[in-house]
Amino acid sequence: MKRRFSRQINIGGVKVGGESPVVVQSMTNTPTQDVAATAKQVERLASAGCELVRLAVPDMEAASALKEIKAQVSIPIIADIHFDYRLALAAIENGANGLRLNPGNIGGKKKIQEIVAAARSCSIPIRIGVNSGSLSRAILKKYDHPTPEAMVESAMSHVKLLEDLDFHLIKISLKSSDVLQTISAYRLLSQKVDYPLHLGVTEAGTLISGTVKSSIGIGLLLLEGIGDTIRVSLTHDPVDEVKVAYEILKALGLRQRGAEIISCPTCGRCKIDLLTLVEKIENNLTHITTPIKVAIMGCVVNGPGEAREADIGIAGGQGNGTLFKKGRVIKKVPEADLARVLTEEVRKMINK
């Protein structure tokens, strides 16, 4: 697939846009004022592969907490600001690597000028974040409801505000909980600007529904070459947002990180407890970062033949399983030992 050309920006050392890989980010759900809890969650996200993390900054206490949090974490942080320009200035002062805001609701041109001056002096990019649920009354009156065209017009008006101040360290997002609306909005915007685009389906829902919506919305846009950074929004542990994001990127061949589990849905031929086995092995391999394909198949029908492209795998039998590598049978293993043996073999392969 051919990626859309975009300008490159730098957020705390992480390059977004240009020829850089699609960047994975998430957002904490702890109170930012709770430094210990927030720093702990940021590091959990970083361990899962998160490369940028956004923190809500609803008040000055949260803005001040950024300094302590920054000192304890290993990835850049982006301050999420609404309404009060002073929070943006305080976030910059306390070490935020990026801002996410809506220039239209921050309080007028003079206040935007102050934010831009502070951001420019520290080379801090600003993400213009447009959500379908927070469009201005004027735009809603013009379009009657939050159409993709309305979202794009809103984004372009904010872009003009920053460009008029000769500020171009810009990233843009256009999010809706409606997947098709989100896709249409990004397609339209991608034809109008060359700034990097942050993809996401906002308020996507729970683990299952949110994963489906995000996979379709984000995945289709990435397949068309649109998108430079992504966030999967889930009403769930944010670590799972990162895991789902990497699965989307793996499926599209855009990023490879950690174990890719290939497993069958099971049928009446399956004679082992495959569900428990898959969960156990997946947990055992959570912290592996080296790309490797691991097949866990329920029977010989779905064994080495169908999983021939896997680096390593097992196929279940009656109370046992067959270990295979690159489609070649290695040995039989008792069912009780399958998780342990496969985990050990995977670790041996990646540590060679």
**Domain-by-domain residue ranges, the chain?**
9-251, 259-350
Rounded distance between C-alpha atoms, residue 299 and residue 321, angstroms: 8
Say if CB 346 and CB 291 are below 8 A apart.
no
Task: Give the pLDDT confidence score for residue 92 in this predicted structure.
Answer: 98
> 179-190 and 148-163 are packed helices; what angle lies between their axes, rounded to 10 degrees?
40
The closest alpha carbon to 325, from 338, 337, 308, belongs to 308
The lowest-confidence range among 106-110, 138-142, 224-228, 278-282 is 106-110
Average pLDDT over residues 205-232: 96
- 303 pLDDT band, cuts 50/70/90, is low
Average pLDDT over residues 247-274: 87
Say if CB 27 and CB 54 are below 8 A apart.
yes
314: left (phi over 0), alpha (psi -120 to 50) or beta: beta
Token pair 């769930």 is found at: 236
Domain at 9-251: CATH code: 3.20.20.20
Domain boundaries 259-350, CATH class: alpha beta
Q: Which two tokens stand for residue 238?
A: 């944010």
Say if CB 192 and CB 225 are below 8 A apart.
no
Cβ atoms < 10 Å from Cβ of 280: 17
Torsion of CA 243, 244, 248, 253, to 10 degrees: 10
- 83 pLDDT band, cuts 50/70/90, is confident
Rounded distance between C-alpha atoms, residue 56 and residue 100, angstroms: 10
Coil, helix or strand for 84?
A: coil
Rounded distance between C-alpha atoms, residue 332 and residue 329, angstroms: 8
Cβ atoms < 10 Å from Cβ of 346: 21
Say if CB 202 and CB 173 are below 8 A apart.
no
Rounded distance between C-alpha atoms, residue 345 and residue 317, angstroms: 19
Beta bridge partners of 315: 297, 322
The closest alpha carbon to 306, from 324, 327, 320, 321, belongs to 327
Query: How many separate helices (H) and strands (E) can be counted in the chain?
Result: 11, 15
Q: Which two tokens stand for residue 211?
A: 């994963």
What is the bridge-based pairing of β-strands 170-175 and 77-80? Answer: unpaired
More confident residue, 299 or 337: 337
**φ and ψ at 266, to 5 degrees?**
75, 155
Task: Give the pLDDT confidence score for residue 304 in this predicted structure.
Answer: 66
Average pLDDT over residues 58-83: 96
pTM: 0.91
Average pLDDT over residues 74-86: 94
Token pair 């996200």 is found at: 45
> Is the pLDDT at 282 greater than 80, yes or no?
yes
- The contacts of residue 291 (CB under 8 Å, 6+ apart) are 256, 257, 258, 260
Q: Which two tokens stand for residue 104?
A: 């239209």
